[in-house]
Amino acid sequence: MKKYIPLHVHSHYSLLDGLSRPKQIAQRCVDIGVKSCAITDHGNIAGAAQVHAALKSKGIKPILGCELYICDQHASMKDKSNGKLSHFIVLAKNLQGWNTLVKIISESNKPEHFYRKPRLSIDQLAEIVDENIIGFCGHLGSYLANKILSNDEIVDNWKSIATTEVKKLKKIFGDNFFLETQLMDKELNPAQISLAECVRELSKDLGVRAICTPDAHYANQRDAIDQRILLCNNLKTTLPEINRKLSNEEDVPMSTFFISDKYYILSPEEMQDLHTEEEIENTIYVDSLCESYDINHEPRLPPFQTETSPDEYLRQLCREGWKRKIGTKVEKSLHEKYADRIKYELSILQSAGL
């Protein structure tokens, strides 16, 4: 049996949404026998270092990524007409891709773009993306799904709309773009089935590889109830109140998490029961595109040319600063104290190689 690679996984750094700590994700990967795992938290990469370390400690290759928030128009437009957000996942193929991913996250968090969430438009994303970034979408709530669904129903002209969007994304990402299918919740959420059928048709007609993913917000199925409690904190409500609304068929935000326990890291056997062999094999192909790399390194300072040695140049700056700020402006009785402090700090900088 082919071992798939989980490419859509959230940690507790998906704030008040994802539950699992990095060590729990790593242990789940060991338990189900997968060799790699992508981390795709909502709108941030704050957990990358911890998840990277946890996975590596268990012999699992980390694939670092993010589930971005995408707005329809330029992110500088901050009003209700541009308030709807869709999801789009990007993965770093290598260390250069990681650096590009950092740029993407930084751009989305700029004050002129941040509006309730860090966000970018697809056109803005296209200006940053390079050959070291993988992109995919297709699950409910994603950029592509929101273009062809209305009230969980496929719109009549979906094929035309989707073809235009996929060609646009293919132009941005090239062969690093993939379509995404999710079916883990198909019994409770039939929209997953109709959407997956559309994605598969697009994949066949446009020659774009389709992958399958979980939408893991917790590591193990038994963790579903804990994640619901976490969501109640997010929604500022209680679980009994949520259950009351559900029993009365009232609207509940993120209701799927309260009625389903399928948002965990599925095993290869479970994925095989839901998806085609090609979709499973394509997750392995995506994994093959991603290198094993380390994001932890010693500080790398830019080169700075001086006529003397760097240490001597810094001492010269201190002498000049002494004349301007201390010489005649500070009582002579304090000069020795200031001089000792300067010597001490210079010694620290020198010993640290800075």
Sign of the CA dihedral 300, 305, 310, 316? negative
Q: Is the pLDDT of residue 164 over 90?
A: yes
Going by pLDDT thresholds of 50, 70 and 90, the confidence category of residue 100 is: very high
The C-alpha angle 128, 140, 7, rounded to 5 degrees, equals 60
Distance between CA 23 and CA 135 in Å, rounded?
26
Distance between CA 126 and CA 102 in Å, rounded?
15
Say which residue the tokens 């094999």 belong to: 281
Q: Taking residues 29-55, what's their average pLDDT?
A: 98
Question: What's the pLDDT at 118?
Answer: 98
Distance between CA 62 and CA 35 in Å, rounded?
9
Instruction: Say if residues 37 and 53 touch (Cβ distance below 8 Å).
Output: no
Instruction: Say if residues 246 and 259 touch (Cβ distance below 8 Å).
Output: yes
User: What mean pLDDT, rounded, does the chain reach?
Assistant: 96
Distance between CA 54 and CA 60 in Å, rounded?
9
Q: How far is CA 69 from CA 90, 105, 121, 138, 260, in A?
A: 11, 10, 8, 14, 24
Question: What's the pLDDT at 287?
Answer: 99
Percentage above 90 pLDDT, the chain = 90
Nearest to 67 by CA among 117, 126, 3: 117
DSSP string, 121-189: EHHHHHHH--TTEEEEE-STTBHHHHHHEETTEE-TTHHHHHHHHHHHHHHHHGGGEEEEE--TTTTT-
What class is the 22-220+264-289 domain? alpha beta
Say which range, 94-108, 229-243, 288-302, 333-347, has the weakest mean pLDDT. Answer: 288-302
Question: What's the pLDDT at 297?
Answer: 77
* Backbone torsions φ then ψ of 243, nearest 5 degrees: -65, -35
Q: What is the pLDDT of residues 220-248, one digit of tens each?
A: 999 999 999 999 999 999 999 999 999 99
* Backbone torsions φ then ψ of 302, nearest 5 degrees: -70, 150
Question: What's the pLDDT at 303?
Answer: 78
Tokens at 107, concatenated: 């751009």
Q: Give the start-to-end residue ranges of the domains of the chain.
A: 22-220+264-289, 310-351
Say which range, 31-35, 48-52, 68-72, 309-313, has the weakest mean pLDDT. Answer: 309-313
DSSP string, 284-332: HHHHHHSPP--------PPP---SS-HHHHHHHHHHHHHIIIIITTS-G
Residues with Cβ within 8 Å of residue 288, at least 6 apart in sequence: none
**Strand, coil or helix: what is 142?**
strand
Q: Provide the residue type at 293 as one letter.
A: Y
Going by pLDDT thresholds of 50, 70 and 90, the confidence category of residue 329 is: confident
Q: Taking residues 47-74, what's their average pLDDT?
A: 98
Q: What is the pLDDT of residues 104-150, one digit of tens each?
A: 999 999 999 999 999 999 999 999 999 999 999 999 999 999 999 99
Percentage above 70 pLDDT, the chain = 99
Q: What is the pLDDT of residues 169-220, one digit of tens each?
A: 999 999 999 999 999 999 999 999 999 999 999 999 999 999 999 999 999 9
* Backbone torsions φ then ψ of 316, nearest 5 degrees: -65, -40
The C-alpha angle 256, 135, 9, rounded to 5 degrees, equals 40
How long a stretch of residues is the chain? 354
Q: Is the pLDDT of residue 86 over 70?
A: yes
In sequence order, the β-bridge partners of residue 264 are: 218
Q: Is the pLDDT of residue 1 over 70?
A: no
Going by pLDDT thresholds of 50, 70 and 90, the confidence category of residue 317 is: very high
